[in-house]
Structure 1
Amino acid sequence: MQTIERYTEPLDWITIIFLICFVMIVIVRNLYNQRFNDFLSILTSNKFMLFKGKENNPFHGFNILLFSVNALSISVLIFWVYKFYHNPTTEDFALIYIRILTAYVCFILLKFGVEKIISNIFDMDQAIDLYLFQKLSYRNYIALLVLPVTLLLIYTVNINDFWVYGLGSAILLANLTGIFNIFKQYQRLITDNWFYFILYLCALEIAPYFILYKLIVVYQMI
């Protein structure tokens, strides 16, 4: 019987990243037990959003740890999709991942900073701070849901266009659902300030992603 050589790509560094993510989740679970339990129920209860949002502390250890899990895991997913379409060399894997992680974190933090500055200019700090907290909480929650799917995609399933478009559509739908739920809470405020709301929506929720898309297209053409 003739043996067939099987080539497997080195995934040790990705395994380490997932291990770091799970360690941070365990730390969050143990250090902030009640807060974490409330966080896991944000789809069925407003308790976490209403009570924790009033603290107005984006640099709370709970938020920092979950955002770190968010950035590490989502960057792995983006890298895996990039690898599927561009097939880079194995030696470039780590460098490409670091670039994706850096770009992702910088984009989120820059967008967050701009929104904070604008809220200060228009004297809407309290409302915008709560909105930013809720939006970040939804995205951290989505990242936790995506984490096991990313594990499945990397270690057991052969990636294809169906997985890419299906998962991408699911993440987009989940983000839009979260934002829609937040906007429902501010329905009265939006109605009274509809012009500023449309301006905010176009300038800070649509334009950044459109610019990012254009930059990615230009980068691919170089």
Structure 2
Amino acid sequence: MLRELVSNEIFTILLVISLLLIASARIAYPKRFNDFAFILVNYKYSNAYIKNQKFISGFESILFANLVVQLTVLFVIFYNVKESINLTTLEIYYTIGFGITLFLLIKTLVQRLISSVLNIDFIVSDYLFLKINFKNFVGLLLIPINFILIFSLDPHLNHLYIIGSILFFVHIIGLSYFFKTHLFAIKNNLFYFILYLCTLEISPYVVLYKLITTT
């Protein structure tokens, strides 16, 4: 059982790092963080910040770092369930964390490039803003989820499916807001937007799923 392993010390350190990151975001950007905390239940955050978005935001960067840490913890937990790995080896954490970071950053950069080529960057920029911030919110949710997995439960694959369903639901909320506010523009560019979604949103995760399940 995961909670009986001495290697929980590494998970504890990573959870503390995440808490420090969240605290720094809260201290450095108090108003924005307070608005962000309610992103699921109202549109105040999106309405206030979507038009002033920056390519690199300090607030989003801090939350993205937390997201990477928590996704790394989650991946290691369930990779251990599948393969029974040595959780005291730091290399596995570095490898998974680096892979997650590289995947998310390259995917975002390619999305921006393709949206410019297809001439739908005026839609995709808002889409990416919402998607990035809802992903960062997922990073917040993963802190208590991972804590429970490490210290209270004996993780198995059914837990992963439940967590995946919760995180998918959060993304659906974000997408529903995007489609509601950009419905007219999407209709006028429907073919290119569907092509964009299939190429850069669906296919990468299908490939990633195949790689994970076949290794």
Q: Check whether TM > 0.5.
A: yes
SS at match of 2:39: coil
Task: State the number of aligned residues.
Answer: 213
Q: Quote the sequence identity (%).
A: 32
SS in 1 for 2:163: helix
Q: How big is the shift at 1:122?
A: 2.9
**Does 1:213 pair with 2:194?**
no
Aligned residues of 1:78 and 1:100 also touching (Cα < 8 A): yes
* 126 and 191 in structure 1: CA distance in 2 versus 1, 3 angstrom threshold: closer
Determine if contact 1:24/1:65 at 8 Å carries over to the other structure: yes
Q: Secondary structure at the match of 1:54?
A: helix
Residue matched to 1:31: 28
Q: Which has the larger radius of gyration?
A: 1
Return 5+ residue gaps in structure 1 as ranges. 1-5
**Correspondence for 2:128:** 132
Counterparts of residues 74-153 of structure 1 (less than 5 Å): 74-92=71-89, 94-153=90-149
TM-score w.r.t. the length of structure 1 is 0.89
What's the CA shift for 1:192?
1.3
| Larger RCO, structure (CA 8 Å, separation 6 or more) | 2
CA RMSD of aligned residues (A): 1.8
CA distance in structure 2 between the partners assigned to 1:119 and 1:10 by the alignment: 44
The more displaced of 48-57 and 135-144 is 48-57
TM-score between the two structures when normalised by the length of structure 2: 0.92
1:3 alignment counterpart: none
**Counterpart in 2 of 1:9?**
6
Unaligned runs of 5+ in 2: none
**Displacement after TM superposition at 1:91 (Å):** 4.5
**Cα gap change, 1:8 to 1:75, in 2 (>3 Å):** closer
Report the counterpart of residue 181 of structure 2 in structure 1: 185
1:39-82 deviation digits (Å, cap 9, x = unpaired)? 11112221211221112213111010000001101110111011
1:78-117 deviation per Cα after TM superposition (whole angstroms, max 9, x unaligned): 110111111012443x211211111111111111011111
